[in-house]
Amino acid sequence: MIKHSIALTKSKPGFWFIVNKGRLYLTSDGLVPQGTLANLTVAAEPEQICWLGEFKQQPCYLVVDHDQIADESSWHSARSLLTQDETLFQLAARALQVALFLQTHRFCGQCGSAMHLVNWELAALCSRCGHRCYPRIAPCVLVGITRPGQILLARSTRHKAGFFSILAGFVESAETLEQAAVREVKEEVGVDITNLRYVGSQPWPFPHSLMTGFTADYQQGDIVCQPNEIAEAAWFDLNDLPEVPPAETLSGRIIRQLQQR
């Protein structure tokens, strides 16, 4: 990502991903604003405008808006774009993650001096000690576990009653994705898995995760829920599931793929 000339950017038409406190501004029709920045009622300092990529052959920009939010109904979670277009959601995810990066890297974590964005890549650089930082990405594993005719689903303590999903957890330092998948399943529900297979990935800006999906076969063990993490877990008939994540999410896609086997 390269920071563009602000004077040129303001007069150039494109898509504008306006972020305020982790939320995205959408029009009354639920769309990402399109046009020129001059036509948008947002405030932005020059260093708070970044190029994100292209959508429908038009440039896409991040605008970090620090103004007080007057109309709460115009600000939304990036999840609002999941059902519209996958590319649009990915750009929104990028916008939210870059906005958080800009917010949390104004000062150097090594010497405390002010940092600035370099103009040839997405990085924050301290001109005093040379410390350079890049946006944080936290990889997370998702694992859909099956045995004949059934899938293992769990409800996190953070989710409402009746809502279940596949197992998930963050990758730890010096750990492979595969090792994390096996460890997280064992820690969260106490069972062993085998035949781990990679499915795909999805950026998840809540706040800066990269979801990596797997399927696996149940090997052995009884379900024992991890205290303070898993409220309940059980085997469900693949043809009779509780409420699960929507198909637009990676976890929802994995569940539906397992149903179609």
Per-residue CA distances from 200 to 71, 142, 249 (Å): 37, 10, 11
pLDDT band at 169 (very low <50, low <70, confident <90, very high): very high
Least reliable range by pLDDT among 44-48, 157-161, 236-240: 44-48
C-alpha span between 40 and 120 (Å, rounded): 27
pLDDT band at 37 (very low <50, low <70, confident <90, very high): confident
Select the highest-mean-pLDDT range: 18-32, 38-52, 129-143: 129-143
Identify the pLDDT of residue 70. 59
**Which residue in this structure is represented by tokens 């959601």?**
89
Residue type for position 99: A
Do 89 and 78 form a contact (C-beta atoms < 8 A)? yes
Least reliable range by pLDDT among 46-60, 80-94, 159-173: 46-60
> Phi and psi (nearest 5°) for 132?
-120, 135
Domain residue spans of the chain: 6-104, 138-259
pLDDT by residue (tens digit) across 39-72?
776 655 545 788 889 999 999 999 887 666 657 7
Least reliable range by pLDDT among 55-69, 126-140, 177-191, 226-240: 55-69
Least reliable range by pLDDT among 4-18, 22-36, 132-146: 4-18
More confident residue, 204 or 12: 204
Identify the pLDDT of residue 69. 62
Identify the pLDDT of residue 202. 94
Identify the pLDDT of residue 45. 56
Non-local (6+) Cβ contacts of 180 within 8 A are: 139, 141, 169, 170, 171, 172
CATH pick for 6-104 out of 3.90.1640.10, 3.40.50.2300, 3.40.50.300, 3.90.79.20:
3.90.79.20
CATH topology of domain 138-259: Nucleoside Triphosphate Pyrophosphohydrolase (3.90.79)
Token reading at 86:
């996958």
Non-local (6+) Cβ contacts of 132 within 8 A are: 118, 123, 124, 125, 126
Answering whether pTM is above 0.95, one says no
pLDDT by residue (tens digit) across 177-219?
999 999 999 999 999 999 999 999 999 988 889 999 999 999 9
pLDDT by residue (tens digit) across 144-158?
999 999 999 999 999
